[in-house]
Structure 1
Amino acid sequence: MDRRHFFKKATAAGIGAAAATTLAAPAIAQEQPKITWRMTSSFPKSLDIIFGAGNELAQIVRDATDGNFNIQTYAAGELVPGLQAADAVANGTVEMAHTCSYYYIGQDPAFALGTAIPFGLNARMTNAWFANGGNDLINEFLAGYGLYALPAGNSGTQMGGWFRKEIVTIDDLKGLKMRIAGLAGQVMTKVGVTPQQIAGGDVYAALEKGTIDATEFVGPYDDQKLGFVKVAKYYYYPAWWEGGPAMHAFFNLEKFNALPKSYQAILKTACASANTSMLANYDAHNAVALRKLVAEGAVLKPFSKEIMETCFKAAMEVYADLSAKSPAFKKIYDHQQAFKKDSYLWAQVAEYSYDTFMMMQQRNGAL
């Protein structure tokens, strides 16, 4: 090949490459458009772990898109009340929310299964169920409300809450006004409690003024921040109604589907990261906070076997009733129940045996 012919071909190839680059640039720009969304939380900024999961999610999205996809986060009450976060997403007021689905059981009891139900799954089981068909069922249900959701946090098994008086027998619950969310309120009603649904930022004032006699919230780390020990000293465990409560990022379904596939994938990754870090942070901080609460005067008490068994029986009655009334609840609940049976079969073989042995070493001072 002579030099003139070679350079002629090389020049043509260079022009072709440049043209390809010129054509590709707008396509890349279209794949990462500049978008600003608003995310409203159901939680106050003072609860840095649970509210912070939303901030983490938003930061990951910004970093992964070089700032092209910007999610602005707002605490409960800044845009809409905390317990109306998902409603604001459904009606298009905001594009997304960080919330608990069981806040919306007034619309359908099936919403509870996205967060936690009494005597339900623990945190590991919840995440395993979501990853193996559970969250698909949740989203199938949510589509009817114009919503799509991804797991974005879990607190682990919570505490049973703060009571002004000691709760020894099931009769001690009768007549109490208690702040409690989700289907646990319906179970508590069966044993004589009057449930109250109050946003996190308003609970202390209600307990201090005597508007309520007891409250549950999350666990030692958040409870210490909220100061409940100052107004109710009896601290019970466990929260049999929240063995592994999940938070979700709720999206307006139409707006989520309109996103580039790359942005959808980034959101899924960001939510998964927030889901993992929230549980890790609570596990790391709750033990220290519990010691501080006891030093501040908290009287730590387990619910009696009588209370646990009576409430378990009441919960099964509630589920039978709801399954008869709500096809959506029955479909998701039956799937979760089947999963739970196998999960507890496996959990008691290896993990329970190991943990029980190690807890005995801790109690004996060997750790």
Structure 2
Amino acid sequence: MKRRNFLKAAASGGAVAALATPALAQTATKFQWRLTSGFPRSLDTIYGAAEVFAEQVKTMTNGNFEIQVFPAGEIVPTAQAAEAVGTNTIEMAHTCSYYYWGKDPTFALGTATPFMLNARLMNAWLIEGGGNDLLNTFYAKHGLFSMPGGNTGTQMGGWYRKEITNVADLDGVKMRIAGIAGKVMEKLGVVPQQIPGGDIYPALERGTIDAAEWVGPYDDQKLGFYKVAPYYYYPGFWEGGPTVHFFVNLEKWNALPPEYQAVLQNAAANANIDMLAKYDYRNPEALRSLVAGGAKLKAFPQDVVEAAYAASNEVYDELTATNADFKTIYDSQKAFRSEGYLWFQVAEYSFDTFQIRNRTKG
């Protein structure tokens, strides 16, 4: 493993102890696994994280552990990826947990839910706050073991064919939106649609949907949404810090030698920080380009954000009253959110506000 990449992995806080060469040398068993991505190959950031992971695993095992990455739909559709891993149809997936919230709303908490944690706090909760252990207790019921494998940072609020000036403008809007966010926006009159990334553009172009959220400027530009839905809103309050997970079949994971488990965890930690760094680096230029190309950048009206916040709390109250797994994980995130933003209010917010104010002054 290259020293630079290993240091990046360690910096994520998720890397385990450095591996001893003799331990790997003594592991004669070779592995060849397949991994299905939840994303199209064209998205080199979010899809590319799986390739970064596979390359690291191969390098750290001297070629003894090879993982072949397949784009969404090539062998398993995105909507079936987690189930395919849990039933051992395929060994691994790299996808968003909230895509499977229809099976159990608790899946949504593994990625992002409205008005919860930003990227740094999500990583802190997963790695230091016991979050990943809580998630894996839940995922084990579905035959899965998970490792954080990327974060996009706070996403955009999506692309709209018509301008949104108040909450009433959302009534009847057919919108591609994933996870519990769809249930929240439904309370505001939106008709949620869960559509894979590769199918969003034609749906917008044909008018099958009126709006769509995806990720942010870099990926959105690649998918060309601005050509058919010019109004670009921010922020994506339903995805403050969405985590993408590597899912491994639980039996396959438990059967791995400990040193190979450590390799996979190190490689996932590297992919986790690598994805966020790429988005933070590439989004500014892409945003400038989108606006120059005609995208109409707008903040959500305040009444939309306030109404969505109230609707989110209604949804959380409904789910915690009926789903014990959801309540356990949500309560942990909610408590951590309060503490995390206390700290951010003192340090991050104060510093960032000053810096942004100075930037606007030139």
TM-score category, normalised to shorter length: over 0.9
Indicate conservation of the 8 Å contact 1:32/1:65, yes or no.
Answer: no
Indicate conservation of the 8 Å contact 2:23/2:259, yes or no.
Answer: no
Aligned letter for 1:286?
A: N
Within-5 A mapping of 1:222-301: 222-301=219-298
Aligned mate of 2:186, from 174, 182, 189: 189
Indicate conservation of the 8 Å contact 1:114/1:246, yes or no.
Answer: yes
Within-5 A mapping of 1:125-140: 125-131=121-127, 132-140=129-137
Indicate conservation of the 8 Å contact 2:97/2:111, yes or no.
Answer: yes
2:14 corresponding residue in structure 1 = none
Q: Does 1:84 align with 2:80?
A: yes
Map Cα deviations across residues 229-252 of structure 1 (whole Å, 9 max, x no partner).
000100000000000000000000
Q: In 2, Cα distance between the equivalents of 1:195 and 1:134?
A: 28
When the two chains are superposed, the root-mean-square deviation of aligned CA atoms in Å is: 1.1
1:94 corresponding residue in structure 2 = 90
Give 1 or 2 for the bigger CA radius of gyration.
1
1:353 corresponding residue in structure 2 = 350
Q: Secondary structure at the match of 2:318?
A: helix
Give 1:32 shift. Answer: 3.8
Give 1:195 shift. Answer: 0.2
Q: In 2, Cα distance between the equivalents of 1:52 and 1:238?
A: 24
Structure 1 residues 323 and 28: CA distance shift in structure 2, 3 A: closer
Structure 1 residues 28 and 264: CA distance shift in structure 2, 3 A: closer
Give 1:31 shift. Answer: 1.8
Give 1:53 shift. Answer: 0.2
Aligned mate of 1:157, from 145, 148, 154: 154
Q: In 2, Cα distance between the equivalents of 1:341 and 1:30?
A: 47
Indicate conservation of the 8 Å contact 2:24/2:61, yes or no.
Answer: no
Q: In 1, Cα distance between the equivalents of 2:107 and 2:26?
A: 36
Map Cα deviations across residues 106-137 of structure 1 (whole Å, 9 max, x no partner).
11100000000000100000000001201100
Q: Does 1:60 align with 2:56?
A: yes
Indicate conservation of the 8 Å contact 1:86/1:250, yes or no.
Answer: yes
Aligned letter for 1:51?
A: Y
The normalised TM-score by structure 1 is 0.91
Within-5 A mapping of 1:23-62: 31-62=27-58
**Which structure is higher in RCO with an 8 Å CA cutoff and minimum separation 6?**
2
Q: Secondary structure at the match of 2:33?
A: strand
Q: In 1, Cα distance between the equivalents of 2:199 and 2:26?
A: 44
Aligned letter for 1:50?
A: I
Map Cα deviations across residues 292-345 of structure 1 (whole Å, 9 max, x no partner).
000110000000111100010000000000011110000000011000000010
Aligned letter for 1:331?
A: T
Structure 1 residues 36 and 244: CA distance shift in structure 2, 3 A: same
Map Cα deviations across residues 181-228 of structure 1 (whole Å, 9 max, x no partner).
000000011110000000011110111111100000000000000000
- Structure 2 portions without partners, runs of 5+: 1-21
Q: Does 1:116 align with 2:112?
A: yes
Q: Secondary structure at the match of 1:301?
A: strand
Q: In 2, Cα distance between the equivalents of 1:27 and 1:230?
A: 54
The normalised TM-score by structure 2 is 0.93
Q: In 1, Cα distance between the equivalents of 2:148 and 2:83?
A: 18
2:102 corresponding residue in structure 1 = 106
Q: Does 1:329 align with 2:330?
A: no
Q: In 2, Cα distance between the equivalents of 1:243 and 1:83?
A: 23
2:68 corresponding residue in structure 1 = 72
Q: In 2, Cα distance between the equivalents of 1:92 and 1:29?
A: 28
Indicate conservation of the 8 Å contact 1:174/1:191, yes or no.
Answer: yes
- Structure 1 portions without partners, runs of 5+: 1-25
Q: Secondary structure at the match of 1:50?
A: coil
Q: In 2, Cα distance between the equivalents of 1:32 and 1:223?
A: 44
Q: In 1, Cα distance between the equivalents of 2:200 and 2:23?
A: 51
